[in-house]
Structure 1
Amino acid sequence: MAGDPEDGMLSWDESVFRDEHVFEIDYVPETFRHRESQLESLKYALRPAARGSRPLNTVVRGPPGTGKTTSVQKLFSELRAQTDVRTVRVNCQVDSTRYAVFSRIFEGIFDYEPPSSGISFKKLFGQIADRLVEDDEVLAVALDDVNYLFYENEASDALYSLLRAHEAHAGAKVGVICVSSDLSLSVIEELDSRVQSVFRPEEVFFPKYDVDEVVDILRERAKRGFHDGVLGATELDRVAELTAESGDLRVGIDLLRRAGLNAEMRASRTISVEDVEEAYEKSKYVHLSRSLRGLSESETALVEVLAEHDGEQAGSVYEAFHERTDLGYTRYSEIVNKLDQLGLVETEYAEVEGRGRSRSISLAYDPEPVLERIEG
């Protein structure tokens, strides 16, 4: 490096970050680019709520990391600021039963959690609906990652209760936005006919960002999050390439943060391509980490068993799982199906001589990063 070698070095109280929060997954940017038509469609569905009527029900679909949650959060924030509409976003990866969904709605309306035991669903539901009627308020509920409700066979019951609220409690006005990242799931077709008859949603699709859009979004995020001169054009292009490869904008945002931390580890004022490449080794597993965080104890146990018995016959995998959890084959099969839907495992049927069709199961990732993230 030309000149004083200390020129490019950070002192103890310096950082490459102007605002590190900009790189967190739940950050809602002030300027939200390349989703104008989707935002307009969602506004159209929510506009009746601002006039005191029930909003239109909506299904929002698209691959992970395409701006679905951010769009809903942005519009919910605007609704709360400008109207009396109640908005509640439920993370169905965490709250994946009907009771858990309504507990989160209760908390959103009353500003405290319901008792953890001793209150029936009917009473919980009744208190929510009564408050809405009493205050003459409209409720807009976003079921984010609604696919998790389907994996647990809870979607139809949860939606039925929300959509029929006005029948059980005259004057209750509730609209639902279902957000799904599972493109193989047909939200409407998978619902019971009793729900399909009243749901009839608007549909809004979020496609993957193209490379130019990724560069634009990441440049804006870097401008807000880093000090001037920290991220050069070459480094930004490399981040964008890796993000486009993964198809998930969240990988790119996490990659920027980790690359910044790598630069700080070197006490450098600028991010290098090497910082980016090194960061990608962890950032590329953003989807894996997120999926693993939402698993139950028995689901995590099966992932561990698969990691430890990688490439072995399905029979020996089940035996090891049963030994560890004492659960039977029916529950094992249900968990395999859920992990398959989440993209954590790959399953295929093959003819086995003397045994007919047999299902083989393997992890969709190398065992090492999976076990690292479970143990970490």
Structure 2
Amino acid sequence: MKKDLLMWDETLFRDVEVFEIDYMPEQFDFRDSQIRELAINVKPGLAGARPLNTICKGLPGTGKTTTVKMLFSDIEEKTKKIIPVYINCQIDNTKFAIFSQIYKKLTKRPPPASGTSFKNLFDQVCKILSDKDAVLLVCLDDANYLLYEKEISNVLYTLLRSHEANEGVRIGVITIISDMTVDLMQEVDNRVASVFRPSEIYFAPYSQSEISEILNQRVMQGLYPGVLSSDIFELIVEQTMKSGDLRVGIDLLKRSALNAEKDARKEIVKDDVCRAYLISKYLHLSSSVKTLSDEEKGLLKAIAQMSQKEKEMNAGSVFDELKDSLKIGYTRYSEILKKFDSMRLINLNYKEGKGRTRLITLRYDPSRIIDILG
């Protein structure tokens, strides 16, 4: 065996956690203006008033979630006047689920497993806030998922109108939107729009130089010296720019190093990156599929299977073929298609002819969709 091959107990990683998608970096660059603007909107809460409501909007992988989490961490370290609660709306996308998470943050325990009405849960949350004399700051991350489930107006109305029925309750809301086609103020009810009145903070895509700097910081923290040459690093930056998502680059670094380890090498080579990219480029697809219900997964898989045989998929014809096996009505079917389109899993395009026909095209390789769905 060559002396430079990795032994079974050796690793290329100084700290593998650095390459986790939810890792909070010690150094967070290129979002200073967004952090300042968000802090200004939150500041009234320190004086006991409601924070200004905010929409953080930008493509996936532009630092929105990290910005909010860093601000929330700072709030928790420095004051008890504001209680920040982070909600992942991909997971918790109903009014009851969201208030259950708020209750859990306030009490350090989950609400009773059964027999608790929403009104009871809501009243308990308001009483706790009143007793603590604290301002609640709720972040609804990926709030566009509430829109897909038609819950956005109900959730915002309950949060923002709570003070009308519960004196002394003060709640501010930060919504994070990754779907650039969504205009939240156009989607909510008038009753919500009148009290929401958010300011919008835009998160522009990172430039190539910014992506290079961010990934280089991860490399220095997470890999041992000599593992990644400058040429291979530039290839990873190039592939990250191609995907348009910083998270793909972070995942690519991790998988490339794992590939090198698997082959018992102490240095990442081009083949490691190329093999890793075949998986990393589907990061959005993998994370999106995890959030779907069994019913939605069944429909997506059926569409992917059909697309392997059909050159053109008409939405009406697809429904006729699948309605018996999937046991869903056309209204629900149409709602799911719109959700898939908003989630960038499919494209829905209208074709003029006899009436307006909707054509379904997948944004990803159908065999890869089927493989991820299992």
Pairwise TM-score range, normalised by the shorter structure: over 0.9
Aligned residues: 369
Query: Which of 35, 50, 53 is matched with 1:57 structurally?
Result: 53
Please state whether the residue corresponding to 2:17 is helix, strand or coil: helix
Question: Which residue matches 2:279?
Answer: 282
Rounded Cα–Cα distance in structure 1 between residues aligned with 2:325 and 2:305: 13
Q: Is 1:106 the counterpart of 2:107 in the alignment? A: no
1:295-348 per-residue CA deviation (whole Å, 9 max, x = no partner) reads 111111110111111034434421343122211111101111110111111112
Tell me the residue number matched to 1:373.
372
CA contact (8 A) 2:314 2:357 kept: no
Q: Distance in 1 between matches of 2:73 and 2:290?
A: 26
1:26 to 2:22 alignment: yes
Structure 2 length as normaliser, TM-score? 0.96
Tell me, yes or no, if structure 1 residue 38 matches structure 2 residue 39. no
Select 1:169's aligned residue among 160, 166, 178. 166
**Aligned residue among 220, 233, 238 for 2:235:** 238
Are the equivalent residues in 2 in contact too, given 1:60–1:178 (CA < 8 A)?
Answer: yes
1:135-192, CA deviations, whole angstroms, 9 ceiling, x for partnerless residues?
1111110000000001111101100111111111111111100000000000112111
Alignment of 1:1-376 (within 5 A): 5-7=2-4, 9-84=5-80, 85-310=82-307, 311=310, 312-352=313-353, 355-375=354-374
Note if contact 1:107-1:113 (Cα within 8 Å) is conserved in structure 2: yes
Instruction: Give the CA deviation at 1:52.
Output: 3.0
Taking the aligned partners of 1:246 and 1:66, their CA distance within structure 2 comes to 12
Give the partner amino acid of 2:177. Answer: S
C-alpha distance in structure 2 between counterparts of 1:47 and 1:14, whole Å: 48
TM-score, normalised with respect to structure 1:
0.95
Q: Comparing 227-236 with 169-178, which one deviates more in the overlay?
A: 227-236
Q: Tell me if the contact between 2:24 and 2:66 (Cα under 8 Å) persists in the aligned partners.
A: yes
Decide whether the 8 Å contact of 2:95 with 2:154 is kept in 1: yes
Structure 2 segments unaligned to the other structure (5+ residues): none
Equivalents in 2 of 1:20, 1:320: separation in Å? 47
Distance 2:259 2:109 in 1: 40
Deviation at 1:105, TM superposition (A): 1.0
Letter in 1 for 2:100: S
Deviations 1:233-272 (A, max 9, x none): 1111111111111110000000000001001011111111
SS at match of 1:235: helix
Contact 1:156/1:191 (<8 A) preserved: yes
Return 286-295 or 229-238, whichever deviates more: 229-238
* Cα RMSD, aligned residues only: 1.3
| Structure 1 unpaired stretches of 5+ | none
Secondary structure of 1:280's aligned partner: helix
Secondary structure of the residue that 1:224 maps to in structure 2? helix
* Residues 108-117 or 91-100, more deviating: 108-117
Task: Tell me which moved more, 57-66 or 112-121.
Answer: 112-121
Alpha-carbon shift at residue 111 of structure 1 (Å): 1.2
* Partner amino acid, structure 1, of 2:355: G
User: Aligned with 1:189: secondary structure?
Assistant: helix
2:131 match: secondary structure: helix
Is the 1:307–1:363 Cα contact (8 Å) retained in structure 2? Answer: yes
